[in-house]
Amino acid sequence: MKVKPLILAFLAVGFGETVSQVLMIRELMTNFQGNELALGVILANWLFLIAVGSWTLGRAADRVPARASVFVITQILFCLILPVQILLARGINNLIGVKPGEMVGLLPILYSSFLLLAPVCVLIGAQFALGCRILAAGAETPAREVGKIYVAEALGCMIGGAGFTYLLVHRFHAFEIALLAVLLNLMAGVILLRPWQQPQELLTRFLVGPIILILGLGVQSWLSGNLDRVEQLSREWQWKGYHLVHHQDSVYGNIAATESEGQTSFYFSGLLAFTSPDPDIVFVEEMAHYPLLSHPAPQAVLLVGGGIGGVLEEILKHPIDRVDYVELDPLMIEAARKYSSAQALDDPRVRIIHTDARVFVRHAREEYDVIIVSLPPPSTLQLNRAYTKEFFQEVVERLSLEGVFSFGVPASEAYMSREMIEHNRSIYETTSAVFSHVSVIPGDWTVLLASPSALEPGEIPHRFEERDLETRLLNVPYLKYRLSPERTERLLIPYLADQAPINRDLRPIATYHNLALWNAMFYPAWGRFFAWMSGLDLWWALTPAALLVLVLTAIRRKAGEARFRNAAVILAIASTGFAGMTLNIVLMLVFQIFHGLLYQRIGVLVAAFMLGLALGALAMAGIVENVRRDVRALVSTEVAIIGYAILLPFLVMRLPEIADLSRLLPQETPLTLLNCLAGLLVGLQFPLANKIYLGTSQGGFGRVAGGLYASDLTGAVFGALLTSVFLIPILGIRGTCLTVVIFKLASLALLIGVA
């Protein structure tokens, strides 16, 4: 068979792979309350399952006839599975017994995403091994042919990621985007079969009919509006048991509104944002009045989030001049105006600002007497951006001399678990590291007040009387009870008992503690595990890396030089998979930390990494047969990856300055370029490793290619699982990159031994 049709087919495969991956990530992150730490679990399952398909079916690929029709069967299966996957992703919470809006523990995220992704991922892994087998049949330079498949798939992934981010997500819903991937794969399948050249082949004639039928049904469903009805029905299934009155995807997340007995609840990426017309009275009154009553005469107020949940209405009861209300997503305001009583939004003293709070605070020129952050706890990296030392330092610059900064965290008057204490203590320590005066008003929702000047909580009841505020909960006796020194001192003991690590932009430890808190609530046995992992340091990486080198070196004589060489190559590829995925996730999460737009831009970040993979593999595939000292060349790529991992933290820390200098470019440009470079360094190794391994291995081509691909993905699985959940929150960006350096040094040492 000709090479070009199969290369074209793998472009379509790569496009469909990225589209399905991004769709699944977006759907699952909505079900898992927008938690980016779940991203690593999802990617780990994705990569592990592809590795399973590549390894198990790669071993069988050499016994499969090298015919295009066999590959087309896998394309048809992909096209049938993808729409079903989206339906199941919408209803996965119902299937595992979790109600919409409920927090989901790490274990349900792990097993539910594994089961959901298994069919399509195993199939994608099998396609790679099968494609390598078909393309290499009779080829004089099989390593170069592997490079072509690797490049074609990576280019398809790049096109899919960029197209999804900049075009598809803005115009089409999930089922329409999935249909486009289906149509492209089916058309590539027809080209691959070439029925006009070989109509007499029985299998070709058998496959052309179903392909044409699926193509026709897909186009008809799109044009007739049936896909829109499927979209609506799937959303209703996602919110089963609720009366869904509104749902919409925005660039920041998914917005949904449900109605029950005249009460409307609004959700953002699965998290309850607010209710109307009867909000949580305790929350909104305490969040608004404590900070405003802590200031002698507030005139200018900045409110970050929560305004349409009732806090804004309470703020306006004070004699203030203006309120700047920062709400990131304008679509949330539109939904609130349509489905709730949001009269406070139309008050002439209110200025609504649709931008990122970090960007607004950093560049604002106004001073504020009171700044209130009315957001959920830092359960996600996007939310954590409002609870870090860096943000607090920016807030100080915007406060007037007697200004007051306020936010809240969940707590308990009856009992605080170890996880809750560590979570709140970290945030308290972070606040105290920036503000010279911090007061805590403890309760089931603890309010923290911070100021560069002295705070006088005892004045709050007197000012409440002076301003003659109309409230439903707060009154003078209640305030005196909440603010009594004896009560405050007793409930503050957990906060002051010990020190805690500071919550930073590039070390979001509060998000980790929040994850530990929710998992301990649903699975108490996990509490010890998360507490144990919180002690993670670089020695944990150094010890297994050193042991691995020592063990492999010790068995070198028994294994023989050829086997030891292959083992060193496999370890290098596995550690590169770990390094590539770790650096990829680092850059994606850094983008979320700095810009908060990962939900919409994840496609282009994935595309950048895949473009780098394609460029690296293409460059190496073009020269691989001319490389004489192939192991030394592999050593050079190892050194390059180590150098990149060492430099990356320093480059990341300079990103805010770079962003200020390049405002005409898209926000993702610096991180996209860095991700592309990471992919390029990883892509250089695969064709080279195939050549080295094929030179000494007795296995068939499909087995070798599938085995190395599975090794690459296995390393990536550990990178995905460890990086987002543990390494970045606990060690920070710098410690995570140093972990990559340690493991790459181990594989480098083994390669030097056989060079």
Q: Which of 313, 249, 261, 257 shows the shortest CA–CA distance to 283?
A: 313
- Residue 550's pLDDT is what? 73
What is the average pLDDT across 648-663?
Answer: 75
How far apart, in whole angstroms, are the C-alpha atoms of residue 52 and residue 123? 9
Contacts of 666 (CB under 8 A, 6+ apart): 672
User: Do 305 and 250 fall into the same domain?
Assistant: no
CATH number at residue 329: 3.40.50.150
Question: Sorting pLDDT into bands at 50, 70 and 90, what band is 97?
Answer: confident
Instruction: Evaluate whether residue 231 is within a structural domain.
Output: no
The helix or strand, by DSSP H or E, that contains position 410, with its residue range, turns out to be strand 399-410
Residues 353, 259 within the same domain: no
Same domain (yes/no): 582, 436 = no
Q: How confident is the model at residue 290 (pLDDT cuts 50, 70, 90)?
A: very high
- Structurally, how many domains does the chain consist of? 3
Note whether residue 730 is domain-resident: yes
Residue-level pLDDT at 176: 93
**Is 528 within a domain?**
no
Give the distance, in angstroms, between the CA of residue 55 and the centroid of all CA atoms in the same chain: 27
CB-count exposure of residue 348 (10 Å: 0-12, 13-18, 19+) = exposed
Query: If you average pLDDT over residues 141-168, what whole number do you get?
Result: 77
- Quick one: 327 and 420 in the same domain? yes
Same domain, 559 and 708: yes
Element (H, E) at 350: strand 350-353
- More confident call, 638 vs 669: 638
Q: Is the dihedral of CA 705, 710, 713, 719 positive or negative?
A: negative
One-letter amino acid identity for 25? I
Distance CA 327, CA 549 (A): 52
Q: Where does a domain end: 469, 489, 519?
A: 519
For the stretch 680-692, pLDDT in tens is 999 898 888 877 8
* pLDDT of 755 over the 70 cut: no
Structural domain containing residue 263: 244-273
pLDDT at 594 over 80: yes
Is residue 197's pLDDT more than 60? no
Largest CA distance in the chain: 93
Condensed to tens digits (0 to 9), the pLDDT of residues 380-404 reads 888 899 999 999 999 999 999 899 9
> How big, in percent rounded to 5, are the helix, strand and coil portions of the chain?
70, 10, 20
Provide long-range contacts, Cβ within 8 A and 24+ apart, for 299-303.
299/369, 300/324, 300/366, 300/367, 300/368, 300/369, 300/370, 300/400, 301/368, 301/369, 301/370, 301/371, 301/372, 302/326, 302/361, 302/368, 302/370, 302/371, 302/372, 302/398, 303/372, 303/374
Domain end call among 519, 552, 571: 519
Residue burial 109-140, b: 16+ Cβ < 10 Å; e: rest:
bbebbbebbbbbbbbbbbbbbbbbbbbbbeee
**Residue 734 covered by a domain:** yes
Give 603's pLDDT tier (boundaries 50, 70, 90).
confident
- Whether residue 2 has pLDDT greater than 50: no
Residues 294 and 261 in one domain: no
pLDDT at 10: 80
For the segment 242-256, the average pLDDT, to the nearest whole number, is: 86
Mean pLDDT over 452-463 rounds to 90
- pLDDT at position 1: 43
- Do 108 and 21 reside in the same domain of the chain? yes
Residue 67's pLDDT band, with cuts at 50, 70 and 90, is low
pTM value is: 0.84
Same-domain check for residues 582 and 438: no
Highest mean pLDDT out of 370-374, 439-443, 612-616: 370-374
Residues 607 and 709 in one domain: yes
Q: Evaluate the omega torsion of the peptide bond into residue 277 and state whether it is cis, within 30 degrees of 0.
A: yes
Task: Check whether 291 has a pLDDT greater than 90.
Answer: yes
Q: What are phi and psi of 327, to 5 degrees?
A: -125, 115
Is the pLDDT higher at 127 or at 138? 127
Instruction: Give the CA radius of gyration of the chain.
Output: 28
Question: Under 8 Å CB-to-CB from 259, ≥6 apart: which residues?
Answer: 243, 245, 265, 339
Whole-angstrom Cα distance, residue 633 to residue 563?
A: 19
Domain with residue 221: its CATH number is 1.20.1250.20
The rounded distance, in Å, linking the Cα atoms of 358 and 381 is 13
Segment (H or E) for 69: helix 68-95
Q: Residue 325: phi, psi to the nearest 5? A: -105, 110
Mean pLDDT of 191-199: 66
Domain end, chosen from 519, 550, 571, is at 519
Lowest mean pLDDT, pick from 98-112, 281-295, 302-316, 498-512? 98-112
Where residue 63 falls among pLDDT bands split at 50, 70, 90? low
427 and 506 share a domain?
yes
Per-residue CA distances from 269 to 99, 100, 400 (Å): 14, 10, 35
In contact, 78 and 124? CB cutoff 8 Å: yes
**Cα distance between residue 53 and residue 44, in whole Å:** 14
Query: Does residue 555 form part of some domain?
Result: yes
370/357 Cα distance (integer angstroms): 15
Same domain for 304 and 288?
yes
User: Which of 289-303, 536-550, 592-606 is least confident?
Assistant: 536-550
Higher pLDDT, 531 or 323: 323
Domain membership of residue 679 (yes or no) is yes
Let me know if residue 526 belongs to a domain.
no
Mean pLDDT for all residues in the chain: 84
Which of 64-78, 177-191, 197-211 is predicted least confidently? 197-211
Structure tokens of 411?
């707590």
Question: Is residue 557 pLDDT above 60, yes or no?
Answer: no
Which two structure tokens, joined as six digits, stand for 357?
């709070």
Least reliable range by pLDDT among 17-31, 76-90, 185-199, 294-308 = 185-199
Does 441 score more than 80 pLDDT? yes
pLDDT of 351 above 80 = yes
User: What pLDDT score was predicted for residue 372?
Assistant: 97
The better pLDDT of the pair 561, 39 is held by 39
Mean pLDDT for 122-142 is 72
Kindly report the three-state secondary structure assignment for every residue of 104-163: CCHHHHHHHHHHHHHHHHHHHHHHHHHHHHHHHCCCCCHHHHHHHHHHHHHHHHHHHHHH
Confidence of residue 198 (pLDDT cuts 50, 70, 90): low
Q: In sequence order, which ranges of 225-329 are alpha helices (DSSP H)?
A: 226-238, 281-294, 311-315
Residue at 690 is within a domain: yes
Q: Of the ranges 232-236, 265-269, 662-666, which one carries the lowest mean pLDDT score? A: 662-666
Confidence of residue 373 (pLDDT cuts 50, 70, 90): very high
95, 78: one domain: yes
Question: Given its phi and psi angles, is residue 560 left (phi above 0), alpha (psi -120 to 50 degrees) or beta?
Answer: left
* Residue-level pLDDT at 559: 59
Instruction: Please name the residues in contact with 435: beta carbons below 8 A apart, sequence gap of 6 or more.
Output: 392, 396, 405, 450, 451, 452
Tens of pLDDT, residue by residue over 498-527, are 788 999 999 999 999 988 887 777 777 777
Residue 452 tokens read as 């560069």
